[in-house]
Amino acid sequence: MQLTAPLDMHLHLRDGEMLQNIAKASAQTFSGAIIMPNLVPPVSTKEEVIAYKERILAAIGDEKFTPYMTLFFKPSYDKAFLESVRDDITAIKLYPAGITTNSEGGVSGFDVEELRPTLEAMSELNIPLCIHGETNGFVMDREAEFVSIYERLATAFPNLKIIMEHITTKESVAALDKYENLYATITLHHLLITLDDVAGGMLKPHLFCKPIAKRPEDKEALLKVVLEAHPKVMFGSDSAPHPREAKEACGCAAGVFTAPIVLQVLAELFENEDAPLENLQAFISGNAQNIYNVAPLAKTVTLEKKPFTVPSDYNGVVPMYADEEIAYSIKEITYG
């Protein structure tokens, strides 16, 4: 099985030692990825974007991989600033304040008039807005409650491309077809697990993430649009590494580390579900190319049906399916 130019449209590469430890896990197998800006402090100036991109390129060494950079949304960004940074970024990521890891400086309240100058400038400059769509309501309802905010923004800024990041509910799936300018990324783990897998038996800290995995009917709604390669849906792993100590702790950090296994497990999932390979190709690359208007470098990943035992950890970060066997392995990566 071959996949060409895989793209990960939502990836946390971190910084410092963690960046050195995990960057290659994505850079080897993907042609490019949208890089999340939730560092400490968040990436919010032109200089920070450029410097972070350089640190990423240094960390991946000889791998051929494009980091598509993002800024951490602030309502204070004006048109002159956005024009000055337009060529350095692919999108801007908006976090509600305090909703997830390193999001304290995010947006509180979603007052359209307060956001208007920045969002209109983004529309004019054709900069997509990626949103972590959760309210601060009851944890299982946060995303469904946020759909009304997506709708408000989609209506108020009809020319702004809005990407509902890592959607986990049937409500978000339904919103996709109602508003022309709403798109979505979907992770691997939300196609595979529900809250039962996280907390239904012994607590599984390595499956704990934001948004929390939801109900079986939500997972089914996500699977449906992924397997049929709905053109507004893209793969975004939300691979979010934390050191083992931060996960196996009282006060477990949110985030699932999937980067080293995503392509293999997606191959297995599409096979098990009898879905066409061309739909996997669209989900993993084609749809993102259309939505973001990017032309990724040609990289072909050949997968073979050969069991692979997932390592216990990658430099101290425990991946999804650690110590378990998955059905597909990566056989070869070629360029051109």
- Distance in angstroms between the alpha carbons of the first and the last residue of the chain: 17
**Pattern of binders to ligand NCD over 12-31, x per CB under 6 A?**
x-------------------
Total chain residues near ligand NCD (CB under 6 A):
11
- Confirm if 133 and 172 have CB atoms less than 8 A apart: yes
**Does 286 help bind ligand NCD (rule: CB under 6 A)?**
no
232 binds, among Zn ion, ligand NCD, none (CB under 5 to 8 A by kind): none
One of 11, 240, 301, 330 touching ligand NCD (CB under 6 A)? 240
255 binds, among Zn ion, ligand NCD, none (CB under 5 to 8 A by kind): ligand NCD
Cα separation, 321 vs 193, in Å, equals 12
Is 238 in the active site? Answer: yes
Q: What is the dihedral of CA 153, 103, 55, 255, to 10 degrees?
A: -100
Contacting residue, 37, 67, 205, 255, with ligand NCD by CB under 6 A? 255
CA distance linking residue 104 with residue 74, whole number of Å: 12
To the nearest whole angstrom, how small is the minimum distance from the Cβ of residue 261 to ligand NCD? Answer: 16
From 39, 58, 59, select the one nearest 49 (Cα to Cα): 39
Per CB under 6 A, 53 contacts ligand NCD: no
Residue 164 interacting entry, from ligand NCD, Zn ion, none, C-beta within 5 to 8 Å by type:
none
DSSP H helices in the chain: 16-27, 46-60, 79-85, 112-125, 142-156, 170-176, 189-192, 195, 216-227, 244-247, 262-272, 277-281, 287-292
Is residue 134 at the binding interface for Zn ion, with CB under 5 A as the rule?
Answer: no
Query: What backbone torsions phi and psi does residue 162 show, to the nearest 5 degrees?
Result: -115, 125
Query: Judged by CB under 5 A, which stretch of 81-89, 219-227, 238-246, 309-317 contacts Zn ion?
Result: 238-246
| Contact residue for ligand NCD among 13, 68, 71, 132 (CB under 6 A) | 132
Catalytic residue among 62, 87, 238, 313: 238
The verdict on 48 binding Zn ion (CB under 5 A) reads no
Residue 154 CB neighbours (<10 A): 19
Q: Is 215 helix (H, G, I), strand (E, B) or coil?
A: coil
Residue 68 near residue 91, CB atoms below 8 Å: yes
One-letter amino acid at 290 equals N
**Both structure tokens of 87:** 């060529």
Contacts of Zn ion in 257-296 (CB under 5 A): none
Minimum CB separation from ligand NCD for residue 188, in Å? 12
Question: Is residue 252 part of the contact set for ligand NCD (CB under 6 A)?
Answer: no
Shortest spacing between CB 275 and ligand NCD, in angstroms: 25
- Report the residue from 101, 168, 181, 258 that binds ligand NCD according to the rule CB under 6 A: 101
CB of 12 to ligand NCD, least distance (A): 5
What does 253-279 look like in DSSP terms, one character per residue? PP-BB-TTTHHHHHHHHHHHTT--HHH
Q: Is 32 in the site for ligand NCD (CB under 6 A)?
A: no
CA distance 73 to 107: 8
Residue 71 contacts ligand NCD per CB under 6 A: no
238 near Zn ion, judged by CB under 5 A? yes
Residue ranges that bind ligand NCD, judged by CB under 6 A? 12, 38, 100-101, 132, 209-210, 238, 240, 254-255
Q: Catalytic residue numbers?
A: 238
Residue ranges that bind Zn ion, judged by CB under 5 A? 238
